[in-house]
């Protein structure tokens, strides 16, 4: 039996593995099963090129749990290793440069959260992650190559190991199937800290999470199923009786749909796969995109569009990242554009570095290419849907609007492409693109400065009076209710190009000033009358710091008192509530302010100008209260008093 020391000049490496990976220690099983699958695939490849003999079609990976012996074994029928290969790949290669790594690791990763993402994947630590849960690890391997002899390697988590030959009889005594005599057993002698990994339910949970779509059958224990009685015995109704049968429990019975050609799949296939991924999600996706790229990078996958409602608190862990069918993570924020994390599905790419720090991932050239490709693929899909069947696209718009608008704000290229299919609905239920809106509204919505003004409301019912006034004036009012509206219209204004576009909410000014024209109406009140009344009415408002009194010439049929709020101030405050606003953050903390505008041409207002101040005071106060009530600004004790006075007035 050969004894030696693993090629590492420091004894710090094993404590580092346990300390920094402890919270993520379940990853060890993914690493070991992945290695077993790789070994099996290598065997198949060597058989195909006639380097070795045999048939690997029935090769399997077994995960064997022995709670009494406190062992967990990962068994494969793969290529196997000779004693020389174990020495090369386990004793030397895995820990080459380990001293330098330990020094850099301790300096760079003071944060354990970053450390556990960075460590696995460096110099073959995938295998050595077993020591996170095991006090001792044995490797028993028999190479498939002609003339090779079995070998055993064992290590207790220190730099010391023992390695030597194993008799063929001893290897056969491991209990392997006749057609899988060669290969490797990795035997973990589980320590006290890893006791949870001696529980069948825990092991099954890890295997189902990471190994569900691996290309080689992964088996863990058995399950009971009901089958027809082999004897053919029948029950009283004449049916063949069922008997309980123990069958191998296969983890990865699901066939990865993303590896198939889209031409061979139907919508039912995609839906069935979606239900496999999200068994507790009972909503069907709207549609899907099948990714299949092999140059300049490898990328496959299927992305589903869920029904995204108008909420900002959304789950972003619904896209599963795989590498060669091995589950890696559901945190894809640096791989998939941020707005696309609202989607569901799977992406699989061997070109995405495994388990690296976020900063390194962002710098990776392939990741940037993949991100750009996915964004373009999504916008192309939406553009094609819009072009092929606009009516169907409009019917889905409510469910994809939030996603599309978020993408337009986060991705400049997506914003440019989305101009062809992003829709804006109006209060009449019609949907148009921005180009269509500009073309159809420029004649009536162009102000005296040449701006095409888009009027909008977040709630046609709550702002019915303002909407009605605008429509009576011949204007179209858009219905923009997304929480992203304030950010989106800002971007649209800045990106309008040669056509100057402005957005104004219908309650941001009186209707005659929403789209200023040269033919403004004249006032029935002289300027000195307005100034005198203004000073008097300011004394009747509840708070002069919130309400600013003004007079304006409007239609005699317009309300006598209108409350408006500055488009600029309100928009900045909305942006701060949602997030963002740039250098306008100071506006988010400022109190709301409103303009209290008296209609200088309304009969009531002109009548007040001719009446006694004491006589008009209660009428003006009531008019102000009614205007505030219409906007939900009359609250608390004021509202209670106003309602009581109204009921009392019924007796007059």
Q: What is the pLDDT of residue 5?
A: 56
**How confident is residue 458, by pLDDT bands cut at 50, 70 and 90?**
very high
Lowest mean pLDDT among 166-180, 215-229, 359-373: 359-373
Q: What is the pLDDT of residue 117?
A: 40
Pairing label, strands 477-479, 452-457: parallel
Region of residue 478 (left: phi > 0; alpha: psi -120 to 50; beta: else): beta
- pLDDT of residue 124 exceeding 50, the answer is no
Task: State the average pLDDT over residues 103-120.
Answer: 46
Phi, psi of 59 (to 5 degrees): -65, 140
Q: What is the mean pLDDT of the chain?
A: 84
**How confident is residue 13, by pLDDT bands cut at 50, 70 and 90?**
low
What does each C-alpha distance from 298 to 89, 292, 301, 448 come to in angstroms?
A: 27, 8, 10, 55
Task: Specify which of 109-118, 475-484, 568-577 reaches the highest per-range mean pLDDT.
Answer: 475-484
Nearby residues of 526 by Cβ (< 8 Å), 6 or more positions away = none
- pLDDT of residue 613 exceeding 60, the answer is yes
**How confident is residue 571, by pLDDT bands cut at 50, 70 and 90?**
confident
Return d(Cα 571, Cα 590) in angstroms, integer. Answer: 12
Return d(Cα 131, Cα 135) in angstroms, integer. Answer: 7
**How confident is residue 101, by pLDDT bands cut at 50, 70 and 90?**
very low
According to DSSP, the residues that pair with 164 across neighbouring strands are 152
Q: What is the pLDDT of residue 4?
A: 58
Q: What is the pLDDT of residue 118?
A: 42
Q: What is the pLDDT of residue 581?
A: 53
Region of residue 575 (left: phi > 0; alpha: psi -120 to 50; beta: else): alpha
Task: State the average pLDDT over residues 508-519.
Answer: 88
What does each C-alpha distance from 163 to 85, 135, 179, 184, 447 come to in angstroms?
A: 12, 17, 26, 14, 87
Q: Which letter, b or e, does each residue of 444-455 get, where b requires 16 or more Cβ atoms within 10 Å of its Cβ?
A: ebbbeeebbbbb
- pLDDT of residue 511 exceeding 80, the answer is yes
Tell which wins on pLDDT, 314 or 232. 232
- pLDDT of residue 418 exceeding 90, the answer is yes
Q: In sequence order, what DSSP letters do the residues of 380-412 get, joined into one string?
A: HHHHHHHHH-HHHHHHHHHHHHHHHHHHHHH-H
For 200-223, the pLDDT digits (tens) are 999 999 999 999 999 999 999 998
Domains and CATH numbers, the chain: 2-222 (3.30.565.10), 257-394 (3.30.230.80), 423-520 (3.40.50.11260), 526-563+591-652 (1.20.120.790)
According to DSSP, the residues that pair with 155 across neighbouring strands are 137, 161
Lowest mean pLDDT among 106-120, 218-232, 288-302: 106-120
**How confident is residue 112, by pLDDT bands cut at 50, 70 and 90?**
very low
- pLDDT of residue 507 exceeding 90, the answer is yes
- pLDDT of residue 519 exceeding 80, the answer is no
Q: What is the pLDDT of residue 586?
A: 56
Taking a C-beta distance cutoff of 8 angstroms, is the pair 344, 318 a contact? Answer: yes
Tell which wins on pLDDT, 479 or 306. 479
Looking at residue 637, what DSSP letter applies?
A: H
For 217-269, the pLDDT digits (tens) are 999 999 888 888 888 788 878 788 888 888 899 999 767 999 999 999 999 99
Nearby residues of 563 by Cβ (< 8 Å), 6 or more positions away = 507, 547, 594, 595, 596, 597, 627, 628, 630, 631, 633
Tell which wins on pLDDT, 367 or 646. 646
- pLDDT of residue 580 exceeding 60, the answer is no
**How confident is residue 122, by pLDDT bands cut at 50, 70 and 90?**
very low
For 420-445, the pLDDT digits (tens) are 999 999 999 999 999 999 999 999 99
């Amino acid at each position: 039996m050969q004894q030696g020391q693993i090629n590492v000049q420091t004894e710090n490496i094993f404590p580092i593995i346990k300390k920094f990976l402890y919270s993520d220690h379940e990853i060890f099983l993914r690493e070991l099963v992945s290695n077993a699958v790789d070994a099996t695939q290598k065997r198949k490849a060597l058989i195909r090129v006639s380097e070795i003999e045999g048939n690997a079609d029935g090769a399997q990976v077994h995960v064997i749990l022995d709670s009494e012996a406190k062992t967990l074994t990962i068994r494969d029928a793969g290529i196997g290793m000779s004693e020389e290969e174990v020495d090369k790949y386990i004793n030397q290669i895995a820990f080459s440069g380990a001293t330098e790594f330990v020094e850099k690791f301790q300096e760079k990763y003071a944060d354990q959260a970053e450390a556990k993402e960075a460590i696995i994947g460096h110099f073959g630590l995938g295998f050595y992650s077993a020591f996170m849960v095991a006090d001792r690890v044995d490797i028993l391997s028999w190479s498939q190559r002609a003339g090779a002899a079995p070998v055993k390697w064992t290590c207790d988590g220190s730099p010391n190991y023992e390695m030597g030959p194993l008799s063929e009889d001893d290897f056969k005594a491991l209990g392997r199937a006749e057609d899988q005599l060669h290969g490797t057993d990795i035997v973990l002698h589980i320590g006290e800290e890893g006791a949870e990994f001696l529980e069948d339910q825990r092991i099954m949970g890890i295997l189902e999470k990471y190994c569900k779509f691996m290309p080689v059958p992964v088996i863990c224990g058995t399950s009971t199923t009901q089958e027809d009685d082999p004897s053919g015995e029948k029950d009283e109704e004449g049916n063949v009786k069922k008997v309980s049968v123990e069958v191998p429990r296969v983890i990865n019975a699901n066939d990865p749909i993303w590896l198939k050609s889209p031409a061979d799949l139907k919508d039912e296939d995609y839906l069935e796969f979606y239900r496999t991924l999200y068994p507790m999600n009972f909503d069907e996706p709207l549609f899907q995109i099948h990714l299949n790229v092999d140059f300049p990078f490898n990328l496959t996958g299927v992305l589903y569009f869920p029904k995204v409602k108008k909420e900002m608190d959304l789950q972003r862990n619904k896209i599963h990242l795989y590498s060669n069918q091995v589950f890696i993570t559901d945190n894809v924020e640096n791989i998939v554009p941020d707005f696309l994390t609202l989607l569901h599905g799977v992406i699989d790419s061997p070109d995405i570095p495994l388990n690296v720090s976020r900063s390194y991932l962002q710098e990776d050239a392939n990741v940037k290419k993949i991100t750009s490709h996915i964004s373009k693929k999504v916008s192309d899909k939406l553009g094609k849907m819009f072009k092929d069947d606009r009516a169907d696209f409009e019917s889905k718009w409510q469910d994809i609007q939030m996603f599309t608008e978020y993408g337009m704000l986060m991705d400049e290229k997506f914003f440019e492409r989305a101009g062809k299919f992003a829709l804006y609905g109006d209060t009449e239920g019609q949907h148009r693109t921005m180009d269509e809106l500009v073309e159809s509204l420029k004649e009536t919505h162009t102000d005296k400065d040449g701006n095409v003004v888009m009027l909008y409301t977040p709630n046609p019912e709550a702002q019915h009076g303002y909407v009605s006034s605008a429509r009576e004036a011949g204007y179209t009012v858009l219905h923009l209710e997304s929480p992203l509206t304030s950010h989106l219209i800002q971007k649209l204004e800045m990106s309008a190009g040669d056509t100057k576009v402005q957005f104004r909410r219908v309650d941001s000014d009186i209707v005659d000033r929403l789209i200023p024209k040269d033919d403004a109406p004249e006032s029935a009140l002289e300027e000195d009358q307005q100034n005198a009344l203004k000073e008097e009415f300011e004394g009747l408002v509840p708070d002069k710091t919130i309400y600013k009194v003004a007079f304006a010439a409007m239609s005699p049929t317009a309300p006598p008192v209108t409350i408006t709020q500055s488009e600029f101030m309100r928009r900045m405050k909305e942006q701060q509530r949602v997030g963002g606003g740039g250098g306008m953050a100071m506006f988010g903390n400022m109190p709301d302010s409103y303009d209290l505008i008296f209609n200088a041409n309304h009969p009531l207002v002109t009548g007040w100008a001719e009446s006694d101040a004491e006589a008009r005071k209660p009428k003006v106060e009531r008019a102000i209260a009614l205007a505030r009530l219409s906007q939900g600004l009359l609250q608390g004790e004021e509202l209670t008093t106003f309602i009581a006075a109204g009921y009392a007035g019924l007796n007059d």
